[in-house]
Amino acid sequence: MVEETPWQQALRYANRADPYPFYEELRKTPVARQPDGTYVVSTYREIVTLLHDPRVSSDPRKAPAPVPTEEEGAADRTDEPQAEPSIITCDPPEHDRDRRMMTPHFAGPPDSPDLISGLEPEIRRIVDGLLDDMRGKTRIDAVDDFAYPLPVTVICKVLGVPLEDEPRFHQWIQTALDAWEYGPETASEDFPSRLAASNQAVQDFGRFAAELLDRYARQPGPGMLSAMVNEDGPEGRMSRGLLTSNALLLIFAGHETTVNLIAHSVLTLLRHPDALQKLRRRPELIVPGVEELLRFESSVQFWPTRSAVEDIDIAGTTIPKGAPIFLAYGSANRDPEQFTDPDELDLERRDNRHLGFSQGIHFCFGAPLARLEVQNAIGEFVRRVENPRLVEDPPPYRRNQIFRGPRHVLVDIDGIRD
């Protein structure tokens, strides 16, 4: 049997709770060719260099599918329906034009620059309600009872997606995520059936978004999606195909990542009682604290759609034209060349230029909203939950490798303060 590379080991589900020893090994070869022809970049400096290199495309249409080798079979993704690219899977000039068309509806045009910050009272109300609901309980699940409901409620409101549709799209997203997989386990027996279910779920989710946009075209309603369907900006209106892809991206990205950051933040603080105490004593540390928590356990471990459009020489390796490139943010955020004592949690870390939200043109569109949600959620959890204790460590993890996070975080508590 061929020995697995550190990257293949990091991808294995059995190692989801602690991929860090494999990342440490991986960083010894900053740009590492994998048996399927993918180049995995794991060091901070090299990732930042490539994030700013126009020879790196984010558009999967520019990359041939990975070529399976004798050592590893790559998943056959050729039967996936070809949707129009969302901003995360296209390059300039399309990327910049589409992102410019979306931005005023999210960040607010000049006449309403407080669109996101104005959501804080509502976020606070939701967080308070979730914590109030824990009164009388001695055990909670920090994922189901806390981390999940906040971002999903907020993103539905921002976008104008009916919250009553949540159970349907939640299921589609989970099914899709269960087969969005790379590495050795794509050769497992159950993978083809997971992939088929995933393709179906993506189609159902796409139809749901298209119908919602149709509804808003007939009758305008609240939120960003209706505004994008009905309002012309300086660059006109997005085509329906682009709108559908970007709506799906926003519904998905708007909560999956934030759920994982809230869940991981609770888990990490309960593993570091000194940091928890410090945050309780000095609540103003929540702002740098959330950045450190995101560095420490990154919600997006890597991003898989990039490829080289020309040969690229980097760190003594040539990434050949057409090769897929994975940027491993989760590893870069623990790179000792960039962060002093990277495996230590330091809520007051200076110069914390982590890659949790990436960098460059694809820097996270929703970062201001995510920060506001997580700062309020974790700040209030720390202040109000009495004597929280982890029940199970490590907790069970979700299957997905990119959006890494615990499935449940059971916590015993003594009560909820006012």
Binding site for ligand HEM (CB under 6 A): 58, 87-88, 99, 155, 249-250, 253-254, 257-258, 261, 294, 299-300, 303, 329, 356-358, 362, 364-366, 369-370
Q: How many CB atoms lie under 10 A from the CB of residue 122?
A: 13
Least Å from the CB of residue 86 to ligand HEM: 7
Q: What residues are paired with 135 via a beta bridge? A: none
Nearer to ligand HEM (CB atom), residue 98 or residue 185: 98
Alpha-helical regions (H) of 161-238: 166-178, 191-218, 224-230
Bond prior to 234 in cis (omega within 30° of 0):
no
Nearer to ligand HEM (CB atom), residue 186 or residue 265: 265
Read off the tokens for 398: 């979700």
Least Å from the CB of residue 360 to ligand HEM: 8
Least Å from the CB of residue 190 to ligand HEM: 28
Pairing of strands 303-308, 389-390: unpaired
Q: Which residue is nearest to ligand HEM (CB)?
A: 366
Least Å from the CB of residue 178 to ligand HEM: 20
Nearer to ligand HEM (CB atom), residue 118 or residue 273: 118
Torsion sign, CA atoms 358, 363, 366, 367: positive
Least Å from the CB of residue 182 to ligand HEM: 15
Bond prior to 394 in cis (omega within 30° of 0):
yes
The rounded distance, in Å, linking the Cα atoms of 198 and 204 is 10
Nearer to ligand HEM (CB atom), residue 235 or residue 274: 235
Least Cα distance to 401 among 85, 185, 147 occurs for 185
Least Å from the CB of residue 218 to ligand HEM: 25
Q: Which residues contact 351 (CB under 8 A, 6 or more apart)?
A: none
What are the distances in angstroms from CA 280 to CA 31, 267, 289, 379? 41, 16, 12, 8
Nearer to ligand HEM (CB atom), residue 35 or residue 85: 85
Nearer to ligand HEM (CB atom), residue 349 or residue 362: 362
